[in-house]
């Protein structure tokens, strides 16, 4: 935040593949966090996230943090940060 010159942690967007980092970020006030978790065949207890962009189902969460498996899904998590082509 200091390097970016941001004073308000609510304005920070944080995407990480390590849940511990995300939990720590939330603990210091970064409320806009997303857990990016690709399919990991070595860790079967962490299956694919079955979320289809544009679907009406809720995002799966871990510790209240949205979980995605494709960066395009950020459009559904934070739609206010994306504009449609032609606008």
Total domain count, the chain: 1
CB within 8 A of 25, min separation 6: which ones?
12, 14, 16, 33
Instruction: Give domain status of residue 16, yes or no.
Output: yes
Instruction: Give domain status of residue 51, yes or no.
Output: yes
Instruction: Give domain status of residue 4, yes or no.
Output: no
Q: What's the 3-state SS for the chain?
A: CCCCCCCCHHHCEEEECCHHHHHHHHHCCCCEEEEECCCCCCCCCCCCCCCCCCCCCCCCEECCEEEECCHHHHHHHCHHHCCCCCC
Per-residue pLDDT at 52 exceeds 60? no
> Could you list the residue range(s) of the whole structural domain that residue 41 is in?
9-81
| pLDDT, greater one: 12 or 62 | 12
Instruction: Give domain status of residue 44, yes or no.
Output: yes
The C-alpha angle 79, 81, 87, rounded to 5 degrees, equals 85
Predicted pLDDT at 69: 86
pTM of the predicted model as reported, rounded to 2 decimal places: 0.70
Instruction: Give domain status of residue 15, yes or no.
Output: yes
56 pLDDT band (50/70/90 cuts)? very low
Instruction: Give domain status of residue 2, yes or no.
Output: no
Instruction: Give domain status of residue 86, yes or no.
Output: no
Predicted pLDDT at 51: 47
The average confidence (pLDDT) of the chain is 78
Instruction: Give domain status of residue 29, yes or no.
Output: yes
CB within 8 A of 38, min separation 6: which ones?
17, 69
């Amino acid at each position: 935040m200091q390097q970016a010159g941001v004073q308000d942690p609510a304005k920070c967007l944080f995407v990480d593949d390590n849940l511990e980092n995300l939990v720590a970020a939330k603990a210091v006030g970064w409320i806009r966090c997303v857990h990016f978790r690709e399919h990991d065949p070595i860790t079967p207890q962490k299956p694919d996230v079955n979320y289809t962009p544009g679907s009406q189902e809720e995002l799966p969460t871990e510790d209240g943090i949205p979980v995605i498996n494709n960066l395009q899904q950020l459009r559904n998590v934070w739609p206010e940060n994306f504009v449609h082509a032609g606008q």
